[in-house]
Amino acid sequence: MNQSISPSYQRTRWLTLFGTIITQFALGSVYTWSLFNGQLDAKLDEPVSQVAFSFGLLSLGLAVASSLAGKLQERFGVRRVTIGAGILMALGFWLTAHASNLMMLYLSAGIMVGLADGAGYLMTLSNCVKWFPERKGVISACAIGAYGLGSLGFKFICGALLGAVGLEQTFILWGLMAMGMILVGALMMRDAPVQRAAGPVAQQARDYTLAESVRLPQYWMLAMMFLTACMSGLYVIGVAKDIGEGLVHLSTQTAANAVTIIAIANLSGRLVLGVLSDKMARIRVISLAQIVSLAGMSILLFTRMNETTFFLSIACVAFSFGGTITVFPSLVSDFFGLNNLTKNYGLLYLGFGIGSVLGSLVASLFGGFTVTFSLIMTLLVMSLLLSLIIRLPQRQPLAGQQLQRSGG
């Protein structure tokens, strides 16, 4: 592949990587949202539960926009779409600062910010991975790790701003900072070139369109695995403090330490499993993540937990979740090719939005943790079995020989 050794090609792809990392850091800031629920509750005079629903809408908007980002990139290019996402995010936060009722909050902080975040997140990630076909796992880990670090970094930034300038000005400054970083990152990016066969591995690959992919059973097997990982991770992460207080009878202060444990385990999963996925079959990395998550869920379901086992259980689930969402973009490209990755992974990514609400919905309908944990564990067992039997789609014969089907 001549362009891979060209100095200009190398410079362009490394600039794209750095721009993607900056953009992902800014986009990840939305996961500091819980900092604002209390003050928004007081400002709008609405229950915290209804205020917090705006983040559920944000997650759903993120997933929907991610599924459409491929079409936007085809028409406008990665740079223009990313710039548009940054401007829309700043506008969403500006309107959030002036929201005077729940509906305006849902429209601004939920739908607008969610759509902006989703439009930038998956598209820039997929585009960056395409620039580095030889190290997809490491690149995914860098980009998605930056997204996770963004939530941690902006937690301190937004916390300091809240104390210094108040709620409304914090939203405005947050939007301006995020937009500035996204615009800088966008200007460093270029659309990845079409990938061509290079070497025996690349020669075996075939690019499936989204229409072709959805007709394959492997696509829906992967969708099931991804939905399960998102449901288990997002539900347990979202209620970790409540599990500590309700099931383990920890003090509020001790249970709140779960947030730190989750952040460390989540980031560790992204880095460890992302790097590992370049050294072994990615589907086996997913199987490993599922086993780790099953271990955590088993502790939650079948043991009398103490402080140590509680933190261990949520660390297992967070590690598995972080690793899975890092490895999955590269895994999807292994199955269906790099050139249509944004579209093929975009539809699968709807599982993130569905998973973000499914666990809470089951818990509210059927009462409490046990039923939800049991459902999650059943789905994890099914997903583990799927990961062990799935194989790459049948490849077309090359040079008169039938290429070997292998899922790893």
**Predicted pLDDT at 200:** 43
Q: How sure is the predictor about 400, in pLDDT bands with cuts at 50, 70 and 90?
A: very low
Tokens of residue 37, six digits = 């629920």
Tokens of residue 111, six digits = 């739908």
Over the stretch 278-312, which tens digit does the pLDDT of each residue have?
889 999 999 999 999 999 999 999 988 898 999 99
Q: How sure is the predictor about 195, in pLDDT bands with cuts at 50, 70 and 90?
A: low
Nearest to 139 by CA among 150, 148, 130: 130
Over the stretch 53-90, which tens digit does the pLDDT of each residue have?
787 788 888 888 888 888 888 889 999 999 999 999 99
**Predicted pLDDT at 202:** 45
Cβ within 8 Å of residue 142, ≥6 positions away:
17, 21, 274
Q: How sure is the predictor about 396, in pLDDT bands with cuts at 50, 70 and 90?
A: low
Burial 3-21 (b: 16+ CB within 10 A, else e): eeeeeeeeebbeebbbbbb
* 8 A C-beta contact, residue 273 and residue 327: yes
**Predicted pLDDT at 196:** 61
Distance separating alpha carbons of residues 341 and 81, to the nearest angstrom? 17
Over the stretch 201-240, which tens digit does the pLDDT of each residue have?
444 457 899 999 999 999 999 999 999 999 998 888 777 8
Over the stretch 117-144, which tens digit does the pLDDT of each residue have?
999 998 999 899 889 888 888 888 888 8
Q: How sure is the predictor about 349, in pLDDT bands with cuts at 50, 70 and 90?
A: confident
Distance separating alpha carbons of residues 349 and 223, to the nearest angstrom? 8
Give me the residues paired with residue 398 across strands: 401
